[in-house]
Structure 1
Amino acid sequence: MGALNSVGLWTIIGLLGVAVPIIIHLLYRKHRRQTDWAAMELLRKALVTRSGQVKIEDLLILLLRCLALALLALALMRITLDSKSVIGEERIGMVVAIDASYSMNHGLNSRFADAVEKAREIFEGTAKEGDPVSIVLMSSRPEILLRSARYDPIQVKTILDELDGAGPNSLNLETNIELLDELVAELKTPGKEVFLITDSQEMDWAELPPAAQDSLENLQENANVFVIPAVNAGEDNLAIESLNYTFGSLRKSGEARFTALVRNTGRSDEKTAKVEFYVDDTLIERKQVGSLAAGESRPLEFTAQFEKAGNVSLRAELTNDDLADDNVRHAVARIRPGIQVLLLEGDIENAVGNRSGGYYAKVALSPRDSDDEEGVVVNEIDPADFALEERLKDYDVVVMNNVLTVSSSTATKLKRFVSEGGGLIVFAGDRVEASTYNQSLGAAGEGILPAELGEVSSSETKEGWTMEAAKSDHLLAQLTARYPEKLLDAIRITKQIEATPIENGEVLITSQSGNPVLLSRSTGSGTVLLFTTSASKRWNNLPREPLYAILLQQAVTMLTSDPDRLQLTVGSDASLPLTERAAGDFVDLLSPGTEEPEKIRVIQNGDQLAAPVSLTKHGIYEIKAEEDKPGVAIAANVNASESNVRVVESGALTITLDPTGVKVISGEGSMSQAIEKERRGSELSHRLLLAALIVFILQSILARRFTNRINREDTKDLSATLQMSQVAAARRS
């Protein structure tokens, strides 16, 4: 038993109400006047019997009036019963949550369509008109279609009829359960029910994370929770999990390789699928996927040539299967007309036999030693002249080689440069003062270095340390991992600065000593790369090896146009970084599937200007360039983890959810009957109001009847007549 309204408040109000007729009764007794006179003494005995009868009648009327007010207070308190009862009125508040993640679109007759029909059956078979109901579409961006509204069959039917498919989002179970708990708290009914209609994907339901299990247990404490699987016959699916830049030049007239990873996320083998590769909506290449067993993946490489500079859209598309949302993957390549590099040369000597690190870096980046506008142009300056460099935005990458110290003003300029999308490469050397770097560029300063620098470490052997790729998906780590083992073993490092990676710093290459050789860190829209060894041959033999040029060329390419970094997930919010604009300006955003651009207001996002964008569809989002104001484009793709269409069977799901108390209703038998069997919760307010009304009418009838009998009595005694009149007046009150 419980109450929907405040027990304390309505108890106080009820007691005050009950006290009213008692106070009135006592006041009438207090103000009764008594006059002693001789003749009255003769009649006193005759009145004693009648007076006792009147007191009993008054007490009965008083009790009935108090009972009527007490019943009224209990009715307004809204007393509820946890179990079914013939004396209570069944009232159930319902929250129906439909899984709207894109895996629900699987099948010709989709799981989502089955979920909508199950929701329709729940409402039509178990809901009562006037009871509060809510309808929610569950995903990473949940949508409330109806919130704590009185159940109207026509309104609910209209809402369900308008649902034609799930969105492109994934499912965040914990976030949705928290929302359902909030909606349950709004229901003012003795019985509360929550229905989760889902395809019960393995990734979400096979093993519930502790946070999700705790959320479900908490929800079950506040409502009766049911999970209703919505599935179709098949569990077959192929998905393109990624489309990544692999290698090559992202410059005008350049050529680059991209890799599309295709995975079989279903339960059966697939043999006939094809993948088509598009550049700016032009079909470039088509490849057979070949036979793929369940759970197996296969990378397919495509080559693209770029004839012009600008943002280029890339797309890998899979032949249609039972789930269309994950058959396409988008990417954006920012093609440069050329790359401008500013080299801060810190090495003092640069002679034959003792070349500087800057010399080797320039040779690696511009092997033709030309100022070809479509290549990499390196401008070398003395670090002391960096403060005079006013047009830093004319450069794409800054390379610092063995620079002695970094002033606070230089650090500030570099921080702004990187935050606005520039790339920074830092090489160590014998002139680098680690403490100064930590103070200006590290955590104590502008905070852009990926590690805290320490002492110089030397190899105990003359041969030095070998190096190897760290476990990372980063392009430079992958290039090192694919480099021939014999050639990689020939690279030796004799000295390096010890480096302790910070929290968001990523190690890409390590030496045999365990110390990082190359680290990366993203800052704002740009990236910082840190080599803990020298760019020259003084601390290693790397400059004479082909890997040196490969790493530098790919590093510069990645820093200026990283297609992988321009890929975001549908269902998230993004801030597109902008330059040459001002906060408050409006820019034109072209979204996927639209022909007319949308006006977006530019905001200040930390140290940079940005355009806030909500990614609701997969495809390319682009802000066009305007005169001398550069544009920006990003690709939005579905969450690849949602492609797993394998489901948990009802029996296994029941075992998983048993500790939480949540019940699973499978397709066997009538769903409405199963719900009615588990239904609990009734309210006594209407019954109590009726009882209060009956008691009130009863006391009115008795009061009138008793009063009329007094009026009909024939008494010749004036005092008795006055006394009876006073009693009648009190009863009418």
Structure 2
Amino acid sequence: MSLLTPWFLAGLGLLSVPIIIHLTHRQRSRVTVFPSLMFLRKLPFKSMNRRRIRHPLLFALRCAAIVLLALAFARPFLDTTEGVEGGSARDVVLLLDVSASLGFGDRWEAALDSARAVLDGLGEGDRVAVASFDEQAWERLSLTLDLEAARTVLEGLSPTHLGTRLEAGLQLAGRILAEPEGRVRDVALISDFQRTGWEDGDRVRLPDGVSLRAASVAGEAEDDAAANVALAEAALRTADGGRVRLVARLANMGETPVDALPVSLEVGGRTVATRPVDMPPRGTGTVVFEDLALPEGRSRARLTIPGDGLEIDDVFRFVAASETGLRTLILGTSRGAEDPSLFLERALGIGEAPRIEASRAPASGIDAAGLSSIDFVVLNDGDLADAGRAGRLRDWVSAGGGLLIVLGPGARMDRWSAAGQGLLGAEPGPLVDVGEGRRLSWLDYDHPVFELFSTPRSGDFASARFVRFWRVEPAEGTAVLARFDSGEPALLEHVVGEGRVLVWTSTLDRFWNDLALQPVFLPFVHRLALHATGYREPERWIAAGGVLELGSLVGAGDEGFADGEGEWVLVDPTGDRHQLEIAEGPTWIDFPETGFYQVEARDDAARAVTVAVNPRIAESDLAPVATERVVEAVAGTAPTGATGEGGATVDGEEVPRRAELWWLLLLLAALVLGVESVLANLWTRRRPASALTGA
């Protein structure tokens, strides 16, 4: 028998308590005070330590209870390996981690060696199933007596490009061994036990009677922590003149600093620049490539660093393409010395994701030719009384344009044409003049415009004070996105054809409110522009294991390629071509490997979209979780060291099964204390009154 926590045996020192009670108890006299003691004789009262135990059984029971409690907390267990090795029939699930981190150093070969050792330890009548897992789990071989088939399956496995999720593998193993058949049931888990793969693992429990043996192939912590650097991200920003600025972020997962690591940028297969980067231990670094000239269209680009122990994260792929930004036209009128578009224009001009190129024109200057090259129009403090002007703007919105109507003092909605009121999406009302001011009291934080501000300390709209605004009554189909504290709408939205119209019922300068002076003004204006135009940042890369919808993917390609209809082919990073099955509804495409994929029309290979796929950055963090923690959480036992399966060995040591006895000892201690309590009540008698004594 062995003990898991032997230091609890120090509790045996409490055996002194019953000794003190039984042998050193002093009997004390009772003193009765009288008014006068002249007629009483003083008698001496003797008190002395007991020299014998009056109730030996009570003494023994109390000592036994303390001994049992101390032993229970020390958690004794019995070694039961002999029964398994003696030929008991077993069902074993060989659960092998095949995630990308197994490609570090010689981990994969160590994992295969451990798996072979498990098979070598099985005897006649034992069955084995082979399962593998990364982010998902697969049963590679059902329970079988054919050990050679299991060896063949093992030889066909290799590390994937996906992340680690221990929970998925353990759940599958539990399902395989869910039905008891009178056989010993075990799971042999072989993994590097990445800490990032165990975030939700403590929610997994194996079925009753199923034991877990965990074999870690992670090396010593100091060795594994040595210089694994990962390329984590690449962000492109297009500046004026079409030049591009690229910012690359790297992560040092090791415990040693990195000095002057060269980072190379390749575009279209040609190296265009190399920059050095320094990183602290367990820190990050940034490399900036300035003033890049990219080829026309979308090009394949890569960031590379010198190879280290884990090669899969030494290359970062992305699609490089310069962007023109959102072309914005502000239609407005002058307000004497005031410039109603000043704050709006400057807010739109700040920011790079995406760049917003704003120009101005008078509200009366709306023409179809001028609108054809515009993505976003702001009608700022203008009117749509002219039916022809309103009609041209409505046709442009119906074709997919985004319009923001800002109702200022020059709006004069009572004069608007029917086409203009159709763009408004509401019944015009009177001007509300509130001397004490109104506040924004309700925002639809589920809407894309306000979603950015939904978290704590992300922006306060309630601090803005509004003294004037137009009262409008939303028409059917018009949604209210924000309201004042009096209940009137502040921001409305409705759809016109393929486009979208937003209506703000006050000004976007300091004339009727002070929102332009609040910190939320700039991001709020940007969200209005992005939502009105339906802008989505181009998908330059995705993580391995991700999926994309065919219709949205091909919509990012050339003109005439956005309908998603016809026959499509997926070309994977190895060059193999796969026919895509087009079904009713969305067609989703999986990207399980790192590299460049290409989606192209079967009848026209020139019409193609490239997708760059990179490993998940979490898979580059090789820090392990303790195998003891995994075993205790999943199987309810805490191993004393490395664990193996039956005759299998891990790090050269065989670890037996355990039958823990702490619960039985606690039960016996409770029984002993119960008997002691009953006997103490029966044997204890009230002592006779003490003799009266004088002072």
Shorter-chain TM range is: 0.5 to 0.7
Distance 1:503 1:542, change over 3 A: closer
CA distances 1:101-145 after superposition (whole Å, capped 9, x unpaired): 2112112x2x122111101100111254x6432212211133332
Q: How far apart, in 2, do the equivalents of 1:457 and 1:118 lie? A: 79
The answer for the alignment partner of 1:176 in structure 2 is: 169
* 1:112 matched to 2:108: yes
Alignment partner, residue 243 of structure 1: 234
State how 1:167-246 maps to structure 2 within 5 Å.
167-185=160-178, 188=181, 190-205=183-198, 209=200, 212-215=201-204, 217=205, 219-233=206-220, 234-236=223-225, 237-245=228-236
Q: Which moved more, 1:395-404 or 1:195-204?
A: 395-404
Q: 1:353-393 CA deviation, whole Å, 9 max, x = no partner?
A: 45554996499779xxxxxxx9969798989999xx9999x
Query: Which TM-score applies when normalising by structure 2?
Result: 0.57
> What displacement does 1:170 show?
0.6
In structure 2, what is the equivalent of residue 487 of structure 1?
A: none
Describe the shift of the 1:591–1:659 C-alpha distance in structure 2 as closer, same or farther (beyond 3 A).
closer
- The one-letter amino acid of 2:574's match is G
Cross-structure match for 2:137: 142
Deviation at 1:643, TM superposition (A): 1.2
1:266-665 counterparts in 2 under 5 A?
266-293=254-281, 295-303=282-290, 305-336=292-323, 338=324, 341=327, 343=329, 345=331, 349-350=333-334, 353-355=337-339, 357=341, 361=345, 397-401=375-379, 424=402, 426=404, 429-430=407-408, 499-502=443-446, 506-507=451-452, 510=459, 513=462, 538=511, 539=513, 565-576=539-550, 577=552, 578-579=554-555, 580=560, 582=563, 584-594=565-575, 597-602=577-582, 605=585, 612-624=588-600, 631-649=608-626, 657=633, 660-661=636-637, 663=639
Where structure 1 has 5 or more consecutive residues not aligned to the other structure, the ranges are 1-81, 367-373, 434-439, 446-454, 462-493, 681-733
Contact 2:348 2:525 (8 Å CA) reproduced? no
2:50 alignment counterpart: none
State whether structure 2 residue 163 is matched by structure 1 residue 162: no
Distance 1:575 1:510, change over 3 A: same
Name 1:481's counterpart in structure 2.
none
Aligned with 1:641: secondary structure?
helix
Q: State how far apart, in whole Å, the 2-side matches of 1:195 and 1:183 are.
A: 13
Amino acid at match of 1:112: W
AA at the equivalent of 2:451: E
CA contact (8 A) 2:440 2:461 kept: no
Q: Which deviations, in whole Å up to 9, do the C-alpha atoms of 1:341-364 show, x marking residues without a partner?
A: 47585x5x3466455549964997
Equivalent residues, number: 500
Structure 1 118/260 Cα, relative in aligned 2: closer, same or farther at 3 Å?
Answer: same
Residue aligning to 2:469: none
- Answer whether contact 2:403 2:501 (CA < 8 A) is retained: yes
CA distance in 2, matches of 1:375, 1:131: 68
Contact 1:93 1:191 in 2 (8 A): yes
Q: CA deviation at 1:146?
A: 1.3
Match of 2:593, SS state, is coil
After superposition, the C-alpha distances for 1:553-612 in whole angstroms (9 at most, x for unaligned) are: 997799898667443221122214134455651123333232x54333455656xxxx53
1:126 and 1:676 in contact (8 A); partners too: no
The 10-residue stretch of structure 1 (626-635 or 565-574) with the greater mean CA deviation from structure 2: 626-635
CA distance 1:628–1:589, change in 2 (3 Å): closer
Tell me if structure 1 keeps the 8 A contact 2:542–2:613.
yes
SS of the residue corresponding to residue 136 of structure 2 reads coil
Distance in 2, Cα, partners of 1:557 & 1:423:
11
Contact persistence 1:343–1:379 (CA under 8 A) = yes
Deviations 1:220-261 (A, max 9, x none): 52511222111234213111222223x334x9x612222211
Over 3 Å counting, the alpha-carbon distance change for 1:562 and 1:500 in structure 2 is closer
> Percent of aligned positions with the same letter in both sequences?
16
In structure 1, what is the Cα distance between the partners aligned to 2:147 and 2:114? Answer: 17
- Aligned counterpart, 1:91: 89
1:169/1:638 contact within 8 Å kept: yes
Q: Report the residue type matching 1:239 in the other structure.
A: A
Shift of the 542–359 alpha-carbon distance from structure 1 to 2, 3 Å rule, reads closer
- CA drift of 1:529 comes to 12
**Cα distance 1:391–1:575, how it changes in 2: closer, same or farther (>3 A)?**
farther
Give the partner amino acid of 2:99.
Answer: S
The alignment's C-alpha RMSD in Å is: 5.7
Would you say the 8 A contact 1:426–1:530 is kept in 2?
A: yes
Change (3 A) 1:659 1:668: closer
User: Hey, what's the Cα distance between the residues in 2 that align with 1:512 and 1:101?
Assistant: 46
Q: For residue 202 of structure 2, give the secondary structure of its aligned residue in structure 1.
A: helix
Normalising by structure 1, report the TM-score: 0.55
Write out per-residue CA displacement over residues 488-509 of structure 1, whole angstroms, 9 at most, x where no aligned residue.
xxxxxx9979634117653267
CA distance in 2, matches of 1:143, 1:178: 11
CA displacement at 1:280 relative to structure 2: 2.4
The correspondence for 1:678, drawn from 626, 645, 657, is 657
Distance in 1 (alpha carbons) for counterparts of 2:270 and 2:535: 21
More helix by share: 1
> Counterpart amino acid of 2:580?
I
CA distance in 2 between counterparts of 1:564 and 1:663 reads 50
Q: CA deviation at 1:614?
A: 1.0
Question: Any stretches of 5+ residues in structure 2 without a counterpart?
Answer: 1-79, 385-390, 414-421, 426-430, 465-480, 483-490, 660-695
| Structure 1 pair 91–226 and aligned structure 2 pair: CA distance change class (3 A) | same
